[in-house]
Chains A and B, each alone.
Chain A
Amino acid sequence: MKLLIVEDQAKTGQYLRQGLSEAGFTTELAADGITGQHLALTGDYSLLILDVMLPGRDGWQILQAVRSAGLDMPVLFLTARDAVEDRVHGLELGADDYLVKPFAFSELLARVRSLLRRGSSTTQETHLQLADLRLDLIRRRVERNGQRIDLTAKEFALLELLMRRQGEVLPKSLIASQVWDMNFDSDTNVIEVAIRRLRLKIDDSHEHKLIHTVRGMGYVLEERAP
């Protein structure tokens, strides 16, 4: 997975690159619009992360050039501008997502993964499994270590999300949006309570914990070495 970041602010670009590289992506960084556009058109990238305000050519111009060259990789905009018209403009030109600075890196990572997943054809899964935890998507059943666990519909949706994106740190805002369809910056501790309840059913009676809190960033479902 090769990503291109076009960002003129050196520090932001460098941190983004480091973060995405450490998350397992190959990244390249361009610091101005002209280099960015050249790379975007010639390199074979799976996804572009574009700043709107760039020296040389702005993010929208790059996007236009990319789309008119027939390239259809997902494009995610990063910008400090938060006008509705900007957002609409970007999406009209064929941007796939939009993040307004300041954003949480975990949020960016989650969106990048969503965008990359969108393209790949997912085979209709019937089961999800992690260690001894098993989700039956058709019968809506959960078992751990062979024992059946009763979950409410929302708990099941939450666990399904965590299972599908195991190993990824999911920020609270993403969970609220995916499970409850609440797309606002909410700082309530609803998600904490929901995770706590899910843990009570999934993890508490087991020595081997699967749901982990990444402080300040979100939650992740993964098997960790004891």
Chain B
Amino acid sequence: MIRRLSLSSRLALLFAGCTAVVSLFAGVLFGRASEVHFVELDQQLMESRLTVLRDTLQGADTLESFTRRLPALLLHLNQQPDLTVRVRGPDGHLWFDSAPSLPEQLAVRPGLGSLQINGIDYRVLNPIPDTQNAPRLTLLLDITHHQHFLQRMQHLIWMTVGLSALATAILGAWAARSGLRPLRRMSAIAASVSADSLNARLHQQQMPAELAELASAFNAMLERLDDSFQRLSAFSADIAHELRTPLSNLLTHTQVTLTRPRGIDEYREALHSNLEELQWMAQLVNDMLYLAKADHGLLTPRREPLDLGREVDALLEFYALLAEDSQIALTREGDGQIAGDRSMLRRALSNLLDNALRYTPGGGAIKVLIEETASHVRISIENTGAGIAAELLPRLFDRFYRADPARREGSSEHAGLGLAITQSIIRAHGGQIRCEAQEGVTRFVLELPTIKAGST
């Protein structure tokens, strides 16, 4: 049940509890203090009266001498109706009792005490006699009014405790509600977020310090969602677009071919042309499936020890003819060992080399540099050429992204998925890929964990 309480209710209850405890404590303290104070007052009063009584009974050693002083005592007592006096002789005989209705034997100890007889509270003073022969005095002071006062005060304390707790609960609830308003604003925005409104953001400046962090995390989450969603919808749109072009070619070409009888060569030509479109589409679908697998974490590379130098050399040999054709120098420097999937890594590297060959002008150079550090093997593939504008670098690995929008449509190249596939493969190996471009040089840098780092 407690779990389901709202934050405002919790805070209000906590406030009320705190107030109750504090006021109860203060009340108890105050009650104690006044009680002590009353005892002191009573003592002073009774001691001063005791002095007067002692003066009056000065020298009354025997019952006779006491009887002589009795009228003065009675006179004195008449002026103080709240005081009861008992006098006993030195032998313990009761000489005088101003209130015979009280029981004869009182449980009294020497000094100051209190008693309750017949519902009336008394303060009792039982002083030690001055001399051996002096009469023993017992003074009883009616303190009912004090007790009444204390009782009233106790009621007051309980009432204060209850009322202040109630008041703070109400005020606390109000304070908590207004204090938590930014939180409600946040949840209102969160509730309003849908696929169409991912651009809503919280104003961090308006948030209290405690919520600023949450708000910024929330905004960052929205940012990421927005970004992923944009990419996703762009991806779907791109797929549709990429498939639409070859499909429309196929449709048009087939329909046109079938409109009238043609020679066998024309049919053959039409089928060949269709075959090209279809192959391109099959390649696209295969690439997309590969990426989809990577997205779902189904790309699980084998971990066989690989000599990167040898792998790169094999690839360079594969591309050597192509490079020779455009007089591009292909070189490798350095060596390294990793645990990885040979065919996946070959695919990843071949995409980069293919890319490099495509963008390196004739007479240029492509250099593969392998460096091994304690935790990583870094492979840099560097090519001369115009380079890529810095603002395009972050989008380079996006699906269907082409640095040069003019290249495309029906070309036999990868539909702009090559770098995305390379990135997926490198990531599946626990590595990183980035692209750096400077004046005249483009460099793709791959970082893969070494065998030791990869196996832990």
Which residues on A are within 8 Å of B, measured CB to CB?
Answer: 82-84, 100, 102, 104, 154, 176, 180-190, 193-194, 197, 215-217
Contact = CB atoms under 8 A, between A and B. Distances in A.
A217 B347 CA distance: 22
Contacts of A102: 282, 285-286
Nearest to B321: A193
A67 B87 CA distance: 126
Interface in B234-277: 272, 275-276
A182 B315 CA distance: 8
Given A84-B300, A188-B354, A216-B276, A182 B286 contact: no
Nearest to A189: B322
B283 interface: yes
Most A-side CB within 10 Å, residue of B289, B314, B317, B318: B318
B350 A180 contact: no
B325 interface: yes
A96 to B, nearest CB: 19
B275 A190 contact: no
A87 to B, nearest CB: 12
Nearest to B412: A187
Nearest to B418: A187
A177 to B, nearest CB: 10
Size range of the chain B interface in the assembly: 20 to 34
Contacts of B413: 187
B298 A184 contact: no
A188 B343 CA distance: 16
A187 B283 contact: yes
Interface string B323-366: 00100000000000000000100110010001001000000000
B293 A82 contact: yes
B279 A104 contact: yes
B307 to A, nearest CB: 14
Contact of B317 (A84, A100, A154, A215): A154
A193 B318 CA distance: 11
B319 interface: yes
Contacts of B347: 184-186
16 contacts: A84-B298, A100-B286, A102-B285, A104-B282, A181-B314, A182-B315, A182-B346, A184-B347, A184-B350, A187-B414, A193-B321, A193-B322, A215-B272, A215-B275, A216-B272, A216-B276
Given A180-B314, A182-B350, A194 B293 contact: no
A190 B318 contact: yes
Contacts of B282: 102, 104
A181 B272 CA distance: 28
A190 B321 contact: yes
Contact of B283 (A182, A185, A190, A216): A185
Nearest to B342: A183
B130 to A, nearest CB: 111
Most B-side CB within 10 Å, residue of A102, A183, A186, A187: A187
A65 to B, nearest CB: 30
Given A82-B289, A84-B300, A190 B272 contact: no
Instruction: Return the 8 tightest CB-CB contacts between A and B, nearest first.
Output: A216-B275, A184-B347, A102-B282, A193-B321, A180-B318, A215-B272, A183-B343, A190-B322
Contacts of A188: 319, 322, 350, 354, 357
B317 A180 contact: yes
Contacts of A215: 272, 275
B318 A176 contact: yes
B414 to A, nearest CB: 6
Contact of A216 (B279, B314, B318): B279
Nearest to B289: A82
A40 to B, nearest CB: 29
B344 to A, nearest CB: 8
Contacts of A183: 343, 346
Given A104-B279, A188-B354, 12 more contacts: A83-B298, A84-B300, A100-B286, A104-B282, A154-B317, A176-B318, A186-B354, A193-B322, A194-B321, A215-B272, A215-B275, A216-B279
B322 A184 contact: no
A184 B317 contact: no
Contacts of B321: 190, 193-194, 197
Contacts of A100: 286
A90 B315 CA distance: 30
Contacts of A186: 347, 350, 354
Most A-side CB within 10 Å, residue of B293, B298, B322: B322
A197 B324 CA distance: 11
A193 B325 contact: yes
Contacts of A180: 314, 317-318
